[in-house]
Chain A
């Protein structure tokens, strides 16, 4: 069975500081991994996804994530955050039956 664990429920960080949001997964089949972002009062939208190839994936708004097969991780990073990055971030894995399994989310709070 597949699962996704987001280790931090909340991450406060000061504006212009770097941030890393952690995600670990378990899967017995080929892995397709995603990060979605949910801004206040909005639905989720895709930030980036790992399908195959390069383990460093670049997404929108300056975010990137690194797929690490040996550590079964897909951590999300941004070198310098802005107030507008305040949102909830979800890691997800695509299961073998074309469904997604979502993590419990990490709430990023960027402080001025």
Chain B
């Protein structure tokens, strides 16, 4: 079984709809991240969480919110989806030891907003 799972894997929605993307991990890591990937732009950090009570905005948090329901679960919400939020979204985890941490990525969720 995969260590980091994301649901759904693909989603098509309409402008104005509320969407939730979910991430679960079995690695026992404290740190979790949400990234957005756009062609030619690489990965941009949306939100990150160092533990259940510590949630921080990343570079591009506008229009997004997150919830850390437990150590193993980190959800990303789009309160009112817009077309320029069409992208590939990745969840990642790390052990939180130091700056040398490896990040472990989920398989991604491809979101299309019409």
Q: Which chain A residues have a beta carbon within 8 Å of chain B's beta carbons?
A: 6, 9, 32, 34, 36, 41-46, 49, 51, 90, 94-96, 98-100, 102-105
Residue B43 lies at the interface, judged by CB distance under 8 Å to chain A: yes
Interface of A is mostly: loop
Supposing A9-B40, A90-B43 touch, asked if A44 and B90 sit within 8 A by C-beta, the answer is yes
A100 to B99 CA separation, bound complex (whole angstroms): 9
* Chain A to chain B: the 8 pairs with minimum beta-carbon distance, closest first: A43-B105, A104-B42, A94-B99, A102-B43, A44-B105, A102-B42, A46-B102, A51-B100
Supposing A90-B42, A99-B45 touch, asked if A43 and B4 sit within 8 A by C-beta, the answer is yes
Which residue of B40, B58, B98 is within 8 Å of A104 (Cβ)? Answer: B40
For chain B, the count of residues having a C-beta within 8 Å of the partner chain is 25
Measured CB to CB, the closest approach of chain B to A40, in angstroms, equals 11
Residue B1 lies at the interface, judged by CB distance under 8 Å to chain A: no
Please give, as numbers and ranges, the residues of chain A lying within 8 Å of B107 by CB-CB distance.
Answer: 41-43
A32 B100 Cβ-Cβ under 8 A: yes
Residue B68 lies at the interface, judged by CB distance under 8 Å to chain A: no
Supposing A49-B102, A94-B99, A99-B58 touch, asked if A43 and B41 sit within 8 A by C-beta, the answer is no
